[in-house]
């Protein structure tokens, strides 16, 4: 076995590009440093006749850090000029992260000219298969494709950056513990947000007399609504401690609703908003608030009961809770409690003796074809009523309280909405939509045609679509410019179904 003095060796320029800088902060590098400190360099460093390192750059850096190692074992191969392919081929045994593995295969394919419709010579084909086999032993095809998709998105978002720089930055993120799947999802969301923001400007000035979106903060938008003008408020506020809500869009003066440090502050913030809309409501109106309870540190937070108590303290009359059961709720992980499958819809009014009830709402529901178009958009689907638990018809007589107290639905399928938004150039990024059945049961039994419905956390205006489809007017408050624009795009499509000859800009 031959040896070389450390001072004679020259690291190749590709190893750092491919595998990153040597650092004791990296677990693998630190482990190698510890091993060589104790046992010395056991595996020879591979070099060419000019003492350029082909494989073993990490061992070289460790030896330089350890002053007592002056010479290292080497294996010399006949290779005058070192290429990236040579470095990859002689470092197959090296421990790499998912990004480095994906990069190796992409690099080899490009260097060999491998692409669909191109036939490689036998030597190149053999070389490619060797790299493929090595990479696929360490990383699944699905993970590799996610890495490549992430690189593609980053190139689109940052055309000024060199591709090698993008690969390197992505690799560093994975080294710091980021998961490839999470990186891709975040990048897709960022890309969609940029794309959506550009399109949203087109809808700034659009309003319809029966469908209005106020783009603004729910805490202050009440000033744009006339007093004593609202017949129904149906809304689903951000849930507490569920995800990061960026609905304040740059406002640093307070925490976004749902991200308060404790549940009591969340409820106080929520009640403050509804108090500001109290003067906008008619005394005969109903207020429906969709909330989800939370298991926090092993205990239930009692959000519905605390919210109903504080709302009553502010003069809202509490009618009853509606229980919304989901047949296929999202799995919530390893909790010691039962799987959550129920949310609450709290029903309030301003005057418990005089709030309005529409006893003919069932017949009204059955008479409107536009409702079906709004909710499903496809002929032949099973009617909406399939998912509701309601009293049987003989209980719908005069004098009988027919308030439904149980609602059962599946989790909403967003496919049709996603297709609609994509046709307008948008990407669907709202992940907290609720089923059409919910606003349907909150609006129809408690309003008349042509009355005004309000949603102060409008989102993509599901409440508004249901209100318009049932001949009500709608005002939505939505802080996100993107969601406000997508709501308008959604309404315009519904309006075209009802008025196919009308021109809507």
pLDDT for res 297: 82
The helix or strand, by DSSP H or E, that contains position 295, with its residue range, turns out to be: strand 295-296
Residue 227: beta bridge partners?
none
The confidence score (pLDDT) of residue 378 equals: 44
* Owner of token pair 């491998």: 114
- In the numeric block, the tokens 């689109």 are attached to 156
Maximum CA pair distance of the chain? 102
Which of 42, 33, 20, 29 has its CA nearest to residue 65?
Answer: 33
- pLDDT attached to residue 419: 87
Question: What angle do helix axes 163-175 and 98-112 make, rounded to 10 degrees?
Answer: 160
The reported pLDDT for the residue numbered 396 is 41
Tell me the DSSP string of 25-52.
TSHHHHHHHHHHHHH---SPEEE-TT-E
Which stretches in the chain have pLDDT values below 50? Answer: 245, 247-252, 376-404, 504-505
pLDDT per residue as tens digits for the range 328-349 = 666 555 556 665 678 899 999 9
Looking at residue 365, its pLDDT comes to 63
- Structural domains of the chain in order of their starting residue, each with its CATH number: 1-95 (3.90.1530.10), 230-448 (3.40.50.150)
According to the model, what pLDDT value does residue 20 have? 83
Taking a C-beta distance cutoff of 8 angstroms, is the pair 289, 468 a contact?
no
> CB of 74 within 8 A of CB of 50?
no
Q: Provide the pLDDT for residue 395.
A: 42
Q: For the chain, how big is the Rg over CA atoms in Å? A: 31
């Amino acid at each position: 076995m031959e040896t070389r003095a450390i001072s004679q060796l020259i690291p190749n320029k590709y190893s750092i590009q491919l595998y990153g800088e040597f650092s004791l902060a990296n677990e693998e590098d630190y482990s190698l440093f510890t091993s060589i400190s104790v046992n010395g360099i056991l595996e020879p460093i591979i070099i060419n006749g000019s003492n350029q390192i082909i494989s073993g750059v990490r061992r070289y850096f460790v030896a330089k850090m350890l002053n007592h190692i002056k010479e290292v074992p080497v294996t010399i191969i006949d290779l005058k000029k070192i290429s990236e392919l040579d470095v990859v081929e002689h470092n197959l045994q090296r421990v790499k992260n998912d990004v480095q593995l994906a990069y190796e295969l992409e690099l080899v394919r490009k260097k060999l000219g491998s692409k669909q419709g191109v036939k490689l010579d036998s030597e190149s084909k053999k070389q490619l298969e060797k790299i493929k086999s090595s990479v696929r032993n360490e990383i699944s095809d699905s993970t590799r494709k996610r890495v490549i998709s992430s690189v593609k998105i980053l190139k689109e978002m940052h055309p000024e950056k060199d591709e090698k720089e993008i690969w390197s930055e992505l690799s560093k993120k994975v080294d710091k513990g980021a998961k490839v799947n999470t990186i891709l999802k975040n990048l897709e969301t960022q890309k969609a947000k940029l794309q959506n923001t550009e399109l949203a400007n087109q809808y700034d000035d659009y309003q319809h007399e029966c469908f209005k979106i106020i783009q603004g903060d729910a805490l202050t938008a009440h000033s744009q609504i006339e007093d004593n003008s609202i017949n129904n408020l149906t809304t689903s506020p951000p849930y507490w401690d569920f995800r990061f809500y960026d609905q304040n869009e740059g406002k640093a003066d307070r925490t976004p609703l749902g991200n308060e440090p404790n549940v009591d502050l969340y409820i106080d913030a929520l009640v403050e908003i509804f108090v500001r809309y109290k003067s906008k409501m008619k005394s005969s109106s109903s207020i429906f608030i969709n909330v989800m309870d939370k298991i926090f540190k092993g205990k239930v937070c009692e959000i519905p009961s605390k919210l109903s108590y504080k709302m009553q303290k502010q003069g809202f009359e509490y009618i009853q809770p509606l229980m919304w059961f989901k047949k296929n709720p999202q799995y919530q992980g390893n909790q010691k409690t039962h799987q959550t499958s129920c949310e609450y819809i709290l029903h309030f009014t301003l005057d418990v003796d005089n709030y309005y009830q529409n006893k003919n709402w069932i017949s009204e529901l059955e008479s409107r074809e536009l409702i079906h178009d709004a909710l499903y958009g496809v002929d032949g689907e099973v009617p909406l009523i399939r998912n509701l638990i309601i009293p049987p018809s003989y209980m719908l007589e005069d004098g009988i309280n027919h308030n439904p107290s149980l609602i059962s639905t599946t989790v909403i399928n967003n496919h049709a909405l996603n297709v609609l938004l994509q046709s307008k150039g948008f990407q669907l990024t709202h992940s907290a939509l609720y089923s059409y059945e919910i606003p349907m049961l909150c609006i129809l039994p408690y309003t008349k045609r042509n009355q005004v419905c309000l949603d102060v956390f409008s989102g993509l205006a599901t409440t508004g679509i249901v209100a318009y489809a049932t001949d009500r007017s709608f005002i939505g408050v939505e802080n996100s410019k993107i969601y406000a624009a997508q709501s308008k795009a959604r309404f315009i499509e519904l309006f075209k179904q009802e008025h196919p000859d009308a021109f809507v800009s």
